[in-house]
A and B are shown apart, each in its own frame.
Chain A
Amino acid sequence: MSLTSRDVEKIAHLARLGITDPEKPVYAASLSKIVEFVDQLARADTGAVAPMAHPLAGQTQRLRADAVTETDCHERCQRDAPAVQAGLYLVPKVIE
């Protein structure tokens, strides 16, 4: 299946990726090649096979005690943040 520049625009928006106009046909071409390549999966006979949930059979998601284990490290974590004020991350105004 072939993807168009319009499709790329839609996918890029879903992924919140800024793509320039000249890039669109380039991505459309390479994504089409990739989709065509993975389309060969359709010919695999997967009948009653259940989709794989974990690479190691029988492993389940482990739970831990609901206890505080981390100390407050917001100053260290905000050291390299693009814009911080009074311990808060700054972004452009969201609600007009």
Chain B
Amino acid sequence: MSLHDRSIAELAGSLARGEFSSVELTRHFLARIDSLNPALNALITVTADRALADAAVADQRRVAGESGPLLGIPLIHKDIFCTDGVRTSCGSRMLDNFVAPYDATVVGRLKSAGAVMLGKANMDEFAMGSSNETSFYGPVHNPWELDKVPGGSSGGSAAAVAARLAPLATGTDTGGSIRQPAALTGVTGIKPTYGRVSRYGMIAFASSLDQAGIFARTAADAAPVLAAIAGFDPRDSTCVDAPVPDYVQGLAAPLTGLRIGLVKEFLDGLEPRNGALIGAALDVFRELGAVTTTVSLPNLPLSVPTYYVVAPAECSSNLSRFDGVRFGYRCANPRDITDLYERSRGEGFGAEVKRRIMTGTYVLSAGYFDAYYLKAQKVRQLITDEFRAAFERVDLLLGPTTPTPAFAIGAKIDDPVTMYLNDIYTIGANLAGLPAVSAPCGFIDGLPMGVQLIGPHFAEGRLLNAVHRYQLATDWHRHAAPGCA
């Protein structure tokens, strides 16, 4: 089996036995990036020299007696995570020249665990998008069909793992930005509970929704990465101080008696072929011992409009820090300070980011705050209460991740509301701060689709366990995109 087809556990085992070094493994993936990335545009920056140096350090650490599931394992970081001494662009012209002066906690923890960064993944500008078409660095192409989008906003991370440019990639999920691209590229993506993973050094979009997570081919590969990045960080005031369970140890538990609720609102109007895939996934879980039922969350259909008030409001506030003064883009020859602000921001931000900032500014402005922002936060509470009630009856909720498979580049970019509806099944979990995962569950027209599982707060272990058992019983996650085997 090629190096890039092996699981994290297999790679770690081979490294431990000295079958190959981290430097050799890193060279293998860098060569794949060289040959495959030009057609995919999944990476904004390739850090080859640094990767080889870090791999050599990992090899030395091993010689010195260290071990660990991620020691010497290559990965790619979404370009939203600050990386000390490496450009951190967030997919924006605004930060095209920004070299981060420190590491995000996620980056630092993975570095300590010995993981080797190969580069920084392309993404929708400031994580605002569902197709990776809003990036200043151009769209990412879906490895399954190059004229299709990979989803977004973590489209580069998803495409990179799908094309086996790295076994792992980090991502962030504010409204579906890990799960939706994972589904559309045929990989596994987990968004942890809000506050489970530190947001320190992760460029903020909507601070009450943002959460860091992981792309991998399987739940078993993702488990040790989540174990490495989860847990308390005093540098993020919303990071929760709660013990981190052993996610790897928990993978194998049987699913006997697991109560899975099929979300009724997700099935209303679901495209029949998508519905058949979800039904088949549910059958697999039943065969594995789960008991299934249908649950209703009547206000869930309001999650997209709720999100498109809350997220832009928070973004308009967060992105006010980009002022052309302290870092980032500055316009040429500003006439005065107002001109400096307006032109630096007008020229530095792309169209979708400007649209979101203006939407947020509008809903927060005098006379509209109660009708939009306050109302949305009330509906958000209703949706959260409905999830809480559902989790008194079931252990996990199940539904589709996306309404359709990957669509053509350019097909939806001119109509923001149509684009926003791509996230109709994923946004609920963000509003309620819940952990959720997408796993490959079949194909429509030759393109991968995902099944989504949502859990109660801090049920990441249960989600990874359920997906792992599902992946032992199915082989959807083993399919490789054409030309990427």
A interface residues, Cβ below 8 angstroms from B: 3, 8, 11-20, 27, 30-31, 33-35, 37-42, 44, 46, 49-56, 59, 61-62, 64, 73, 76-83, 89, 91-94
Tell me which of A14, A18, A31, A39 contacts B346 (CB under 8 A): A18
Nearest residue (CB) in A for B346 is A18
Tell whether, in the assembled complex, residue A41 and residue B433 are in contact, meaning their CB atoms are under 8 Å apart. no
Tell whether, in the assembled complex, residue A52 and residue B325 are in contact, meaning their CB atoms are under 8 Å apart. no
Q: Known contacts A27-B354, A35-B362: does B382 contact A51 (CB below 8 Å)?
A: no
Tell whether, in the assembled complex, residue B376 and residue A38 are in contact, meaning their CB atoms are under 8 Å apart. yes
Q: Known contacts A27-B355, A34-B308, A52-B384: does B339 contact A91 (CB below 8 Å)?
A: no
Smallest Cβ distance from B283 to chain A, in angstroms? 33
Whether B361 sits at the interface, judged by CB under 8 Å, is yes
List residues of chain B with CB within 8 A of the CB of A53.
Answer: 377
For chain A, what secondary structure do more than half of its interface residues adopt (helix, strand, loop), or is it mixed?
loop
Smallest Cβ distance from A72 to chain B, in angstroms? 13
Tell whether, in the assembled complex, residue A37 and residue B342 are in contact, meaning their CB atoms are under 8 Å apart. no
> Residue-by-residue, is B36-56 near A (CB-CB < 8 Å gives 1, otherwise 0)?
000000000000000000000
Tell whether, in the assembled complex, residue A11 and residue B365 are in contact, meaning their CB atoms are under 8 Å apart. yes
Tell whether, in the assembled complex, residue A49 and residue B382 are in contact, meaning their CB atoms are under 8 Å apart. yes
Interface positions, chain B 339-362, Cβ under 8 Å from A, are 339-343, 345-347, 349, 354-355, 357-359, 361-362
Q: Which of B156-164, B259-267, B299-307 contacts A (4 or more CB under 8 A)?
A: B299-307
List residues of chain A with CB within 8 A of the CB of B60.
Answer: none
B interface residues, Cβ below 8 angstroms from A: 97-99, 101, 193-195, 208-209, 234, 237-238, 240-241, 299, 302, 304-306, 308-309, 316, 320, 323-330, 334-343, 345-347, 349, 354-355, 357-359, 361-363, 365, 371-372, 374-382, 384, 415-417, 420, 431-433, 457
Tell whether, in the assembled complex, residue B237 and residue A61 are in contact, meaning their CB atoms are under 8 Å apart. yes
Q: Roughly how many angstroms separate A72 CA and B316 CA in the complex, as a whole number?
A: 30
Tell me which of B238, B326, B341, B375 contacts A16 (CB under 8 A): B341
Nearest residue (CB) in A for B360 is A15
List residues of chain B with CB within 8 A of the CB of A42.
Answer: 371, 375
Tell me which of B101, B195, B381 contacts A79 (CB under 8 A): B101
List residues of chain A with CB within 8 A of the CB of B336.
Answer: 92-94
Tell whether, in the assembled complex, residue A41 and residue B361 are in contact, meaning their CB atoms are under 8 Å apart. no
Tell whether, in the assembled complex, residue B375 and residue A46 are in contact, meaning their CB atoms are under 8 Å apart. yes
- 4 closest A-B pairs by beta carbon, nearest first, are A18-B346, A55-B433, A51-B377, A82-B330
Nearest residue (CB) in B for A7 is B362
List residues of chain B with CB within 8 A of the CB of A8.
Answer: 358
Tell whether, in the assembled complex, residue A91 and residue B101 are in contact, meaning their CB atoms are under 8 Å apart. no
List residues of chain B with CB within 8 A of the CB of A54.
Answer: 208, 238
List residues of chain B with CB within 8 A of the CB of A92.
Answer: 334-337, 339-340
Tell whether, in the assembled complex, residue A55 and residue B372 are in contact, meaning their CB atoms are under 8 Å apart. no
Q: Roughly how many angstroms separate A7 CA and B153 CA in the complex, as a whole number?
A: 29
List residues of chain A with CB within 8 A of the CB of B335.
Answer: 92
List residues of chain B with CB within 8 A of the CB of A52.
Answer: 377-378, 380-381, 384
Tell whether, in the assembled complex, residue B302 and residue A40 are in contact, meaning their CB atoms are under 8 Å apart. yes
Tell whether, in the assembled complex, residue A37 and residue B308 are in contact, meaning their CB atoms are under 8 Å apart. yes
Can you give 16 A-B contacts (C-beta < 8 A)?
Answer: A11-B358, A11-B365, A14-B365, A17-B358, A18-B342, A34-B416, A34-B417, A41-B372, A55-B432, A73-B101, A81-B326, A81-B327, A82-B325, A82-B330, A91-B340, A94-B336
Smallest Cβ distance from B300 to chain A, in angstroms? 11
Q: Roughly how many angstroms separate A41 CA and B381 CA in the complex, as a whole number?
A: 13
